[in-house]
Amino acid sequence: MRTGELPAIAAALGSPVLSTRPLAGGFSHETWLFGLADRQVVVRLGGPDPAIEAAVMTAAGRHVPVPQVLHLLPATAMPDEARPAMVVEYVGGTLLSHVLEDTTLDSRALASLGAEVGRVVAGISRVRFDRPGFFTDAQLTVGPERPWSQQLPEIASACLAATDVARLDPATQQAWRDLCVTHAPALARVDEHSRLVHGDINPKNILVTRTRNGWRVDAVLDWEFSYSGCPYGDAANMMRFGADYPAPYLDGFRSAFAAYLPADLPSAEEWAYLGRVLDMFALSDLITRPAENPVADQAAAQIRRWVADGLPDDELATLDAGGYAGR
């Protein structure tokens, strides 16, 4: 935490901060748990414009559980060299990533968990916008954007140009370029989708609780990468490293996500495939991360599998078995 940040946040809260503890999560910001006299709050420092993220959370909160935003401190309200901050309520629950590591859960419990998560993730797409693109202000104005189907090959090439050959050798890089070129035209079927997309749906960004009747999603966290676009990418994000998750969880997630998607979304029957193509943007970006970044290394391994075997076919192959049906 930088000089001046803690006093400025304490002043905004109107309460002394009795304890601080760093929390995991967030690519472009720091996250802290602050203990006050009567409660705990979560503070996010840095990152993109917190006012945009707060507005996204407000919009999403009408359909899915999100933490309540308590205070916004833009850069202009912070001391010199201090970062903008967002204070949100502390939400109980357990990170989904920790739950999926529990080897005592049986198949029924895992399938139920996956179904609840799939239902909530599909619910994010109930927020509509007037066009696809990225948010430019706290009113969630969507800026103009070229069709995703036209952007994928060039963005993949730009990312590969910034990727160390030690992570992906030149032959694999060229094969990935070719694969992106091959599948990019399919995105024309979803270029006009303009629904809220979280952009970073993974087990580290979801809090859950097991109840007497099953599972409950307590909160979806970290909305910094949100945009207006096709919701199938959120499902692909969750399934990206699905080989690390139990098969019953993935089966429950896939079934519920498909069942709870808005009925009027075009090409919904192809959501799994089109989501994978959208995920090629994220995989391309991830491999540009610094050396020894574990997620970047996972992404590189995924790219090598897709280059060798084709995009996964979620209808014909189970991820945990390593089965891939080339398209």
Q: Write out pLDDT tens, residues 261-300.
A: 998 898 889 999 999 999 999 999 999 999 888 999 999 9
* 227, β-bridge pairs: 197
Give the span between the Cα atoms of 20 and 35, in whole angstroms. 6
Task: Catalogue all structural domains in the chain, each as residue range(s) with its CATH number.
Answer: 5-89 (3.30.200.20), 94-321 (3.90.1200.10)
* 88, β-bridge pairs: 42, 69
Give the span between the Cα atoms of 109 and 111, in whole angstroms. 6
Q: Which tokens go with 260?
A: 């709870």
Q: Reply yes or no on whether the pLDDT at 324 is more than 70.
A: no
Answer whether 0.85 is exceeded by the pTM: yes
Amino acid, single-letter form, for residue 273: Y
Give the span between the Cα atoms of 151 and 187, in whole angstroms. 10
Q: Which residue has the tokens 């070129």?
A: 181
Report the share of the chain in percent with pLDDT over 90. 81
75, burial (CB in 10 Å: exposed 0-12, middle 13-18, buried 19+): middle
Determine how many CB atoms are found less than 10 A away from the CB of residue 141.
13
* 228, β-bridge pairs: 133, 196
Q: Reply yes or no on whether the pLDDT at 319 is more than 70.
A: no
Which is nearest to 294 in space by CA: 227, 244, 219?
A: 244
Q: Write out pLDDT tens, residues 220-242.
A: 999 999 999 999 999 999 999 99
DSSP state of 64: S
Q: Which residue has the tokens 């692909």?
A: 236
Give the span between the Cα atoms of 72 and 49, in whole angstroms. 10
Task: Between 256 and 81, name the one with better pLDDT.
Answer: 256
pLDDT of 321 = 29
> In 148-212, where do the E strands start and end?
195-197, 206-211
Q: Which tokens go with 316?
A: 């014909």
Q: Reply yes or no on whether the pLDDT at 315 is more than 80.
A: no
Q: Write out pLDDT tens, residues 19-66.
A: 999 987 666 788 999 999 999 999 999 877 899 999 999 999 999 999
Give the span between the Cα atoms of 286 and 272, in whole angstroms. 21
Taking the CA atoms of 306, 309, 315 and 321 in sequence, report the sign of the dihedral they define: negative
